[in-house]
Amino acid sequence: MNRVRIVIFNAALGPLDYRVPQGMQVEPGSVVVAPLGPRQITGIVWEAERLPAAEVPDAKLRPLIGVLPVAPLKAQLRRLVEWTADYYCAPLASVARMVLASGGALKGPATMTEYRLTDHEPDRMTPQRLRAMDALQGEQATIRELSELAGVSDGVLRGLVSQGVLEPVEVDCDRPYPRAQPDFAVPDLNDSQQHAADRFIEAMQKGGFAPFLLDGVTGSGKTEVYFEAISEALAKDRQVLVLLPEIALTEAFLRRFENRFGSSPVVWHSSLKSTERRRAWRAIATPPAKGGAQVVVGARSALFLPYANLGLIVVDEAHEVSFKQDEGVRYNARDVAVMRARFEEIPAILASATPALESLQMAESGIYEKIELASRFGGATMPEISTLDLRETPPERGRWLAPPLVKEMEARLERSEQSLLFLNRRGYAPLTLCRHCGYRFQCPNCSAWLVEHRLSSRLACHHCGYETQPPATCPECGTEDCLVACGPGVERIADEVREIMPQARVALVTSDTLNSPEKAAEFVQLAEERLVDVIVGTQLVTKGFHFPELTLVGVVDADLGLEGGDLRAAERTYQQVAQVAGRAGRGSKPGEVLIQTRHPEAAVIAALAAGDRDAFYDAETEARRHAGAPPFGRWAAIIVSSEDEAEARNAARAIGGTAPHLPDVAVLGPAPAPMSLLRGRYRYRLLINARRSAQVQNVIREWLGALDFPRSVRVSIDIDPYSFV
Ligand code: ADP
Ligand code: ZN
């Protein structure tokens, strides 16, 4: 009898046993199709001894239907999946699903038809045809992609096909990517860069798990240095994964990569087209020596892909909170990356100018090797940072930029240098109200104000995506022309700049304006060619960009991040301001940073102004130690939600009422969440603060496992939470 245990892709069901029919070959890691009721589902063969499952007698087992034509998932990856599910209290199936992230790839090799222009003319030219033929010069893609590119309908293109103007080309869906060359353009490293690169290369040659914290000031050339480690991997035909926190950063990264290695890496993120996704997935599952992917740059989801021969993981801007996923499997890609390196027995490099306290602590305790780059590359100096006390020099009424900041911006404009204004708020204004009756526009699904987006003339909820047109009259009192925008978003700051400095060319950089790789590339090019004088942006502009003529950074409201009950507020403010400050003076001209604040005496702001990083980290470390907060203690959150407020409250109370009494675990709450209504669901939170000695995951599993809730109640567990809303 040949019985196997399968992790099936249904989070509600545990692993199930099946019979392997005669002649079918499976091993742990094989991706298979199995019957489930009347349906067929995908699953992964797992070591039965590692997964408890309901005992089903042999005679009752149903046979597997087939094995999918992909290499079995390696043991290291299966261990990573288990670790992630266990640590983050997530269903194994939900984690495993992230591995098989392309349905198309599982179907095996395939070809598809693409089309390209020939030199035929259509027998009758129409404006649409002309437009299509113009737009499609040099392009080759599927009809659907071409129609998007050209902005014409499929029908127009099919017409051109039938006339021979477009010709079909059969392409291999899995054609290999262009090869990167380790020695394409080798840079001259300075001494400290060379030392860092040598350490990485040594670790790679020696083999084995080796976690590094590459702690280098902004502009020190961290990228250049880890490129040397990538070069070593390329030379050995090992694969490299580079995790970036934002897709918007990939564009600049790709260009630097291409300059260094002669071709682009493979890109992975959630908005890939399904054909790109399958091609990338299959390339990743193939060793480089056999034409597979060499270097993959991606968002956090790239972490769980089935690399055939991974040799190095780099997490760039490793402190970024966007590495924490806050729905589905709530994992932190920075931490899982280190675990993956451990299972694969390879080096991992966490690069940052403002490392997370957790990472610094790991270095302090000798678990990570810390490599420092203390100065900027090529003689560029660190920017001069000072605070601008808004109580002493307030902006004019209805404005947000204080006169001293405006004066500096004008000076930059005169010298043809660039300024950057940072405000971490999308849209025009965070709140709209009626001047007459005080009515405030609120999201119907969330406890949040609607944010005015003037460029697209809508009021939008940033939590659920609800949108509506700003009405002409107040919905409450019916008065006309009575709506006022309260507070600034980046759009409003951009307007203010245009008003004060009409001759300045302003670029607005937010996820609303830089919402595609093309737009991001366009912005980088404009800024590099100095066709932009003032950049106004959200956190999107705080990292990665390197504009040598940018010499002034203005932080519009440094106090913004310090409000609210976020336990990491000070650290995040420090990181954001230090990162955005790091955009100033990266070339030969020195940079200056002005921080607008009402609390220049706050410890974070004072440390930033004094350029005293250690003072900030020391104070914050002490505060965390005192509070038993990470990295000294641990947090976990339990979030209870339901569309019915009473049901959510009752479930939360039931959880609170059965909280374990343990010496090393404290349970706070339940309390209504700060976002007490989110996407139409009422929410309650419990916060667990545990000593490091506590087995907090086991405690939570046992505690919640003993309770039963109606199906309409959702209980999520967030281990090492970043969001407290
Ligand atoms: P970081 O990521 O540490 O902020 P970057 O890697 O972006 O710094 O480097 C800053 C700038 O200095 C980039 O334009 C980079 O190309 C340049 N640079 C750094 N090191 C070197 C080097 N060894 N040779 C040439 N250019 C370098
Ligand atoms: Zn909403």
pLDDT reported for residue 355: 96
The bound ligand whose nearest atom lies closest to the alpha carbon of 352 is 1
Give the distance (Å) from ligand 1 centre to CA of residue 256: 10
- Nearest to residue 424, comparing CAs of 320, 576, 534? 576
With both helix axes pointing from N to C terminus, report the angle between 613-627 and 357-364 in degrees, rounded to the nearest 10: 90
Q: Is the CB of 309 under 6 A from ligand 1?
A: no
Whose C-alpha lies nearest to ligand 1, atom 23?
189
pLDDT reported for residue 250: 82
For ligand 1, mutation pick of 186, 190, 223, 249 (most atoms within 8 Å of CB):
223
Q: Is the CB of 216 under 6 A from ligand 1?
A: yes
Give the distance (Å) from ligand 1 centre to CA of residue 370: 19
Q: Is the CB of 579 under 6 A from ligand 1?
A: no
C-beta separation of 436 from 569 below 8 A: no
Query: Would you give the DSSP letter of residue 289?
Result: G
Q: Is the CB of 193 under 6 A from ligand 1?
A: yes
Cα–Cα dist 129/111, whole Å: 28
**380 CA closest ligand 1 atom index:** 12
Backbone angles phi, psi at 516, to 5 degrees: -150, 160
**373 CA closest ligand 1 atom index:** 3
Q: Is the CB of 544 under 6 A from ligand 1?
A: no
Q: Tell me, what amino acid is at 292?
A: G
The bound ligand whose nearest atom lies closest to the alpha carbon of 377 is 1
Q: Is the CB of 255 under 6 A from ligand 1?
A: no
Is 482 assigned a ligand-binding role in the annotation? no
Strand-pair partners of 385:
593
- 3-state SS of 242-257 is EECCCHHHHHHHHHHH
Is 486 assigned a ligand-binding role in the annotation? no
The bound ligand whose nearest atom lies closest to the alpha carbon of 219 is 1
Identify the three-state secondary structure at position 423: coil
Q: Is the CB of 330 under 6 A from ligand 1?
A: no
- DSSP string of 347-383, one letter each residue: EEEEEESS--HHHHHHHHTTSSEEEEE-S-GGGPPPP
pLDDT digits (tens, 9 = 90+) for 224-256: 999 999 999 999 999 999 999 987 778 888 989
Q: Is the CB of 352 under 6 A from ligand 1?
A: no
Residues 6+ apart with CB under 8 A from 292: 176, 239, 283, 284, 285, 286, 308, 309
Whose C-alpha lies nearest to ligand 1, atom 10?
219
pLDDT reported for residue 689: 95
pLDDT reported for residue 567: 81
The bound ligand whose nearest atom lies closest to the alpha carbon of 462 is 2
Q: Is the CB of 218 under 6 A from ligand 1?
A: yes
Is 89 assigned a ligand-binding role in the annotation? no
Give the distance (Å) from ligand 1 centre to CA of residue 27: 47
In this prediction, the residues of the chain whose per-residue pLDDT falls under 70 are 1, 564-565
Q: Is the CB of 222 under 6 A from ligand 1?
A: yes
pLDDT reported for residue 1: 58
Q: Is the CB of 377 under 6 A from ligand 1?
A: yes
Is 446 assigned a ligand-binding role in the annotation? yes
Residues in the chain, overall count: 725
Strand-pair partners of 479:
none
Edge-to-edge strands, sheet with 384-389: 384-389, 592-597, 550-555, 418-422, 534-537, 506-509
**217 CA closest ligand 1 atom index:** 3
Confidence (pTM): 0.92
Structure tokens at 243: 């995790």
Cα–Cα dist 98/117, whole Å: 38
Query: Would you give the DSSP letter of residue 113?
Result: E
Give the distance (Å) from ligand 2 centre to CA of residue 671: 20
Q: Is the CB of 325 under 6 A from ligand 1?
A: no
Give the distance (Å) from ligand 1 centre to CA of residue 221: 4
- DSSP string of 62-96, one letter each residue: PBP-EE-SSPPPPHHHHHHHHHHHHHTT--HHHHH
The bound ligand whose nearest atom lies closest to the alpha carbon of 546 is 1
Whose C-alpha lies nearest to ligand 1, atom 4?
219
- Nearest to residue 499, comparing CAs of 593, 597, 401, 424? 401
Cα–Cα dist 230/242, whole Å: 9
Cα–Cα dist 511/580, whole Å: 16
